[in-house]
Amino acid sequence: MVAAPGGSVLWKSMPQNVIVNGDVLTDQEIKAGVATFRQELEAREGPLSLEQRMGLRNHVINDLIGRLVVVQEAQRLGLAPAEEQVSELASTLVPRGDGEEGCRAGVDEEVVRKEARDRILAERLIEHWGKGVKPPTKGEIREYYKKNRERFVQREMVHAAHIVKNFDAAKEVTAEARELMADLHERLVAGEDFAHLATEYSDCPEKGGDLGFFPKGTMVDEFDEQVFELPVMTPTPVFETPFGLHIAMVYEKRPAGIASLEEIGPSIEQRLLRTLQDHQVEHQLTELRRKAVVRTENV
């Protein structure tokens, strides 16, 4: 074991176990990791150079140490998962073949369960670290918005809803459907509630036909042509798209421009929080590696 620049370690190529805080990474595990990593690299990059092959063991050992100290810390904090959770994840990691026996042929179930358990422990530890991070202040959110206003340019958007009668199997709309849509249009012009009629008569009644906000280009051209020229709270005439007959209504419009801090603030908060959490995780991982007691033993 030889120290290398940047805090990594150069490992001798002779058969050795690596002991990390008392837990053993066996030479067999390391060799298996090297074989897998080499296979992945060659699949992406083709045959490896001599220099690359010589560095494989070093890379794999340092990676395994990083994973192990994470598992150790998660166990120390009491973040162990229930066996049912381990079994559920392990079942997704087993290669699928022909039948139950086929999919398990050649698979060491204990190895798979260990992989599943370690993944859950790592996820829980990262989540644990993230919970300890204070969210950004309103001042930090405001400052980020001021410095990055150009990132928040948005296209013109409308908040619309529709009533639709879909084409049948023959790509046609029945006479009854056309009559119904004409009648619904008259009722809307007379002032009846759009969401109520959509819920009762539309082939897509969910949320009273509400489509939320969307920019031009999200819907088919025939739909865009109607709603982006439509005054707010005015029903369109009955119109046709490749999907069927529609009546639409626009509830609200947002002109093109820079989104307001009120609109974009929550997403900025989440972005800044994720950055803070990432920094916290990186710091904690560095500390775990720094404090780890690592030695080797020949086998």
Candidate from 15-24, 168-177, 223-232 with smallest mean pLDDT: 168-177
Residues 67 and 7 grouped into a single domain: yes
Q: Residue 243 domain-assigned?
A: yes
Token pair recorded at residue 71: 């598992």
Contact 245, 164 (CB under 8 A): yes
- Cα angle 197, 202, 208 (rounded to 5 degrees) comes to 55
Q: Residue 108 domain-assigned?
A: yes
* pLDDT tens-digit map of 218-229: 999 999 999 999
In percent, the amount of the chain with pLDDT more than 70 equals: 91
Q: Which domain covers residue 121, as residue numbers?
A: 2-133+294-298
Whether 12 shows a pLDDT value over 80: the answer reads no
Please give the Cα distance from 158 to 252 (Å, whole number). Answer: 6
Q: Residue 285 domain-assigned?
A: no
At 65, which CATH number? 1.10.4030.10
Contact 61, 29 (CB under 8 A): no
- Cα angle 73, 79, 83 (rounded to 5 degrees) comes to 125
The reported pLDDT for the residue numbered 95 is 61
Structurally, the chain folds into a number of domains equal to 2
* pLDDT tens-digit map of 203-219: 999 999 999 999 999 99
Closest CA to 246 of 202, 211, 279: 202
Phi, psi of 243 (to 5 degrees): -100, -20
The structure tokens 């459907």 sit at 177
Average pLDDT of the chain?
90
Please give the Cα distance from 119 to 113 (Å, whole number). Answer: 10
Q: Residue 262 domain-assigned?
A: no
Q: Residue 264 domain-assigned?
A: no
Q: Residue 279 domain-assigned?
A: no
Phi, psi of 188 (to 5 degrees): -70, -40
Residues 14 and 74 grouped into a single domain: yes
**Cα→Cα distances 285→65, 69, 129, Å:** 11, 8, 10
More confident residue, 161 or 6: 161
pTM across the whole model: 0.64
**Residue type at position 153:** V
Q: Residue 34 domain-assigned?
A: yes
